[in-house]
Amino acid sequence: MLKQVQHDEIGEAFMTKARVAVLISGTGTNMAALLYAAKGDACPYEIVLVASNNPEAPGLTLAAAEGVATWAETHKGMTRDAFDALVDEQLRAAGADYVALAGYMRILSEAFVAGWQGRMLNIHPSLLPLYKGLDTHQRAIDAGDSHGGCSVHIVTPTLDDGPVLDQTPVAILPGDTAETLASRVLIAEHQLYPRTLAAFVMRERSPDWLLGRVRELAMAMPEAEETLSHGMPCFGIVKGKKFAWFTEDHHRDGRTALLVKISGVDEQAALIELDPDRYYRPAYFGDGWVGIRLDLGDTDWDEIGEWLRKSWLAVAPRKLAGLMAAADEF
């Protein structure tokens, strides 16, 4: 059963919580900050798994005591690829949509990073791009910097690289050692990580962001145009039929979804049976259309592109459709 952010007093539309797995190697205070933030009803994510490459990591005990599933196995004696594949299996089995690295002191294999592209965040104790790697606080002090700090970034194949989502500068005090600075930076980390993760998972559920993705894919179809119909953005062929609608909380149904053309009632029923959380029969559209929710946090955008293509083909005049078929042959 998917957990949902609770309705607030003014009846804001409901939304399913993003499922986050946290990877730790040690104390896990950042993991604890994420976990306690997630206890708030309005928090847009829940922690579904805390996993570690160190079975002795103290954070595991805390997570288990808080009722969060844990998994740990030592990476010793395994290749990086084999160990990461094992971790990946656990994350997928837990149904994680996102991964938060929180003091996970392992270099990740390329395949693992690729598998979570755009869905894995890391916190690093420096103002990136300064001081990647280890010993960040001492390096900031030695350089005579006025501030150290911390950054949350999207994980890409290069270590401590990838787009920075947010960061907090922390003043370096006279007489600071790496330890004293680290302990203040850690306080900043505990504030920064939960709110950055929340904003990140919300972004992918925000109707504006979702419409932007749909628009990009729909407008890539030949002769496509965007119009507004019944208050909904919709995409059609110039001087022709409509092939997609974007709906946002239509009739206060709380859904952000894409409506595309399908072959008929049988396909519609099969899709709804296959994944009743995602597919639905759109009111007033009849059996020739299906609603595909975009606000579940795990949208496969290649698949959405394919749905749009099929929908476009279903309404395109023969001459235009022929052009697409010809293009596909190349």
CB 66 within 8 A of CB 35: yes
Nearer to ligand GAR, 62 or 290 (CB): 62
Q: In the complex, what is the shortest distance from the CB of residue 189 to ligand GAR, in angstroms, rounded to a whole number?
A: 5
Of 5, 19, 13, 12, which Cα lies nearest the Cα of 298?
Answer: 19
CB of 108 to ligand GAR, least distance (A): 11
Task: For the CB of residue 65, give the shortest distance to ligand GAR in the complex, in Å.
Answer: 16
The structure tokens listed for 307 are 């749905």
Q: Which residue of the set 124, 137, 153, 190 is catalytic?
A: 124
Alpha carbons 182 and 189: distance in angstroms, whole number: 10
CB of 326 to ligand GAR, least distance (A): 51
Cβ closest to ligand GAR, residue 149 vs residue 233: 149
Binding site for ligand GAR (CB under 6 A): 24, 26-30, 102-103, 123-125, 160, 186, 189
Q: How many Cα atoms sit within 13 Å of 103 on the Cβ side?
A: 20
The residue (of 158 and 325) whose beta carbon lies closer to ligand GAR is: 158
Residues 240, 260: Cα–Cα separation, whole Å:
15
N-term to C-term CA, the chain: 44
- In whole angstroms, the minimum distance from the beta carbon of 259 to ligand GAR comes to 43
Gap between the Cα atoms of 327 and 45, Å rounded: 42
- Nearest residue (CB) to ligand GAR, 34 versus 210: 34
C-beta of 146: minimal distance to ligand GAR in Å?
Answer: 20
- Dist. CA 231–CA 252, nearest whole Å: 13
Nearer to ligand GAR, 119 or 137 (CB): 137
Q: Is 147 helix (H, G, I), strand (E, B) or coil?
A: strand
Q: Please identify, using beta-carbon distances, which residue of 26 and 254 lies nearer to ligand GAR.
A: 26
Position closest to ligand GAR via CB = 103
The yes-or-no answer on residue 190 being catalytic is no
Strands (E), the chain: 4-5, 15-16, 18-24, 45-52, 70-72, 98-101, 120-124, 147-154, 164-171, 224-229, 232-237, 242-248, 256-261, 279-280, 289-293
Count CB-CB contacts under 10 A for residue 313.
15
Which residues are part of the catalytic machinery?
124
